[in-house]
Amino acid sequence: MTDKDTQPIERETPEGLVLINTGDGKGKTTAALGTVLRAVGYGHHVLIVQFIKGSWTYGEMKSIKRLEPEVEFHRMGKGFVGIIDDNLPREAHEQAAKEALEFAIEKMKSGDYQLVLLDEIFVAVMLNLLTVADLHRVLDERPKQTSLILTGRGAPAEILERGDTVTEMKEIKHAYQRGILAQRGVDY
């Protein structure tokens, strides 16, 4: 058996896939970033748009900076909505989500990216900042050659149906339940 026999079959002009990472467990964004890392390894250009995470600093943001210019990162949310340190009016979050949606669709339609990651977009829908119709629009306007990753808790069933690969992260237990706070470099 030769190496050629063991290689996956690739199309000459591959059609992109829709990958969905959802569920109540940790690791949705982390798994998506693993795919980003894989894509960069093949010289692909990647767009990341974050819909909820706002003012906090995350370790992945520092790592992503090192992947420029192959990875373009846009943190467009105004932070967690209605919890922790959110002092913004709801309208500010709604406007940010709508701007992120329009920005993401416009950039995705340019054809400049082989992979687009829309991080926490399902949470934006759960919080009624965006609608399920907005999700369908993203899927409908995606160029066929562009792969798309959608993340966040609460992915609507009708969107799950449209995904090519759907992964549900299920929490079995969490360190926080034992009083252990989130750890830099592991949790954020």
What pLDDT, in 10s, does the model give residues 105-140? Answer: 999 999 999 999 999 999 999 999 999 999 999 999
pLDDT of residue 41: 96
Set out the domains of the chain in order of their start, with CATH numbers: 14-178 (3.40.50.300)
* Residue 10 pLDDT > 70: no
Q: What is the pLDDT of residues 134-186, one digit of tens each?
A: 999 999 999 999 999 999 999 999 999 999 999 999 998 888 788 888 777 77
Distance (Å) of CA 67 to CA 39, 48, 87, 155: 11, 12, 33, 28
DSSP state of 95: H
* Residue 8 pLDDT > 70: no
| Mean pLDDT lowest among 8-17, 72-81, 117-126 | 8-17
Strand partners, 167: 21
Q: Which residue has the higher pLDDT, 24 or 78?
A: 24
Task: Please give the distance of CA 108 from its chain centroid, rounded to a whole number.
Answer: 13
